[in-house]
Amino acid sequence: METHFVLCGIYSVVYINACQGYCLCPESYPLFDLRNADANSTMTISFYTNSAEPGFEAVSSQYGYDDKCWRHDNRTGVLHIHVYASFPSPVCITGIQTWGYPNSSGYVSNYLLAYKTSTGISKCYLPMKQLLDAVEGNRDSTNGVYHKLPPKKLSYIYAAPKEFTVSPDWRWEVYGCVKRHNGRRCPGMSNEITLLAVDEMLPSVVMRYMRGGLQQLPPLVNALDLDKEAAQPTSLLSDDDRDTCLHPTGPCEAWHALIRIAVFPGDTPLRIVGRGIKCDSRHVLVTYQQNVTSSCRFPTRVCLLVSNGDCEAHCADNNEQVRDLAIYVRGDADARLCEVTSDSLVYML
C-alpha cells in the first residue's frame, strides 16, 4: 500500500505494508449483498465447496442470491465438508448470519467457523478456549440467526456444518466493511459476485513538522483545524509493531499530527503508544462526538488522559462505540508516534 503524507508543505511518499492487525468498521453492512454494488468501485467474491448436491452449489449459499441454498451431498463425516468465501483483498468481518431453506425445511443447527491468515494458516474464528465448540446455528428453516464476531481482517472465511435437521441446507451472510478497492471481474473465475468497497478500516492521519519548535504550534483547542481532507489511511498505527512509527522525514524541531478514526470500542481505554510522547494536555488531545444529540447538534467531548506507561485516553464508561474519534498529538523532533490501540482489539490474524 502506498500512503502519502503532507509534511509542512513538503510532499513525502512513504511505502508501508498492508495492516495485519485489528480492523475497525464505523458501520457494518452485508458484504455478500449485491444491492449496494457500484460498477465504478467493485470487488469480486468467490464461493466454492468440496461437496455439493447438483443444483445446490456453493454460490447459492449467499443469502438472497437465488431461491436455492448450498447443500453438501455427504450426510456423514460433515466436519470435513466446508463452504468457502474468498475475497481478493482483505475485509473486516464483524458478524455472521445464517438461514436454512424453507422449501425443504432443512437447516444447520450448529457449525464450525474458521478463516485463513495471510500466510495460509487455518484458524478457528472463536477464541482458543472454544476451539472445539460449534457456533449455534438455526432452530428452523425460515428465520436467520445472527452472531457478532470479534473483528478480524481476512481474505478467506469458511464454515463447516456440524449438525443439521432434515438436510444440511445452508445460506449465509457476513457483515463488516472493506477497504476501497478498484476491483474487476475475472473472466476465468466462476461463482463471482461484486460489491461496493469503502475505505473505512484504517486510521487517517495528517502530520506536519515545524522548524520553529513547539512554541509555534497552534493551541490544542485549535488542533482540529489541521487539514482533515489531506488525511490518508495508514497501517503504521494499527500493525501492533512498536518499531513502525510515524515521524518527520526531514530536519525539524517539532511536529504535530491529527489522527481520525470513524469508530472505536469505548469499553476500554485507548492507548497512544510512542517514544517521547508527553501525556498531558499540552501535547495530547482526544475528542469524540457524543452519541446523543443536544440542541440538534452532536457536541464534542474530551477524553480524560492518564499516564500509565503509555498515554491512555478514557473516553467512555460503557461498551458503546465511540464515533468520530479525533486524536491530536504534538512532539519534539525525536518523538515517535507508533500505535493507537486498545485492549478491546486483541483479535489478531
Tell me the pLDDT tens digit for each residue of 142-194.
999 999 887 787 889 999 998 999 999 999 999 988 754 333 333 333 343 33
- Given a cut of 50, whether residue 347 has pLDDT beyond it is no
pLDDT of residue 221: 65
Percent of the chain exceeding pLDDT 90 equals 28
- Give how far Cα 78 sits from Cα of 43, 72, 130, 168, Å: 31, 9, 19, 9
- Which residue intervals of the chain bear CATH 2.60.120.260? 29-196
Pick 1 or 299 by higher pLDDT: 299
pLDDT of residue 133: 66
User: What does the DSSP 8-state code read for residue 243?
Assistant: T
- Which residue intervals of the chain bear CATH 2.60.40? 2-21+202-342
Q: Across all residues in the chain, what is the average pLDDT?
A: 75
Sign of the C-alpha dihedral, residues 285, 286, 292, 297? positive
Sign of the C-alpha dihedral, residues 343, 201, 133, 137? positive
What number of helices (H) and strands (E) belong to the chain? 0, 22
Q: Is 24 helix (H, G, I), strand (E, B) or coil?
A: coil
Pick 343 or 32 by higher pLDDT: 32
H or E, element range at 230: none
Interatomic CA distance for residues 274 and 101, integer angstroms: 52
29-196 topology per CATH: Jelly Rolls (2.60.120)
Q: What is the pLDDT of residues 223-250, one digit of tens each?
A: 667 877 778 878 788 766 778 888 777 7
Cα–Cα nearest to 112, from 102, 98, 101: 98
CA torsion angle 173 260 237 9 (round to 10):
130
As beta bridge partners, residue 326 has: 260, 287
- Give how far Cα 15 sits from Cα of 2, 202, 249, Å: 5, 15, 13
2-21+202-342 topology per CATH: Immunoglobulin-like (2.60.40)
Pick 189 or 219 by higher pLDDT: 219
Nine-digit cell at 343?
485492549
Alpha-carbon Rg for the chain, nearest whole angstrom, is: 23
For the residues 327-348, what does the mean pLDDT come to? Answer: 78
- Given a cut of 70, whether residue 216 has pLDDT beyond it is no
Highest mean pLDDT among 46-55, 118-127, 186-195: 46-55
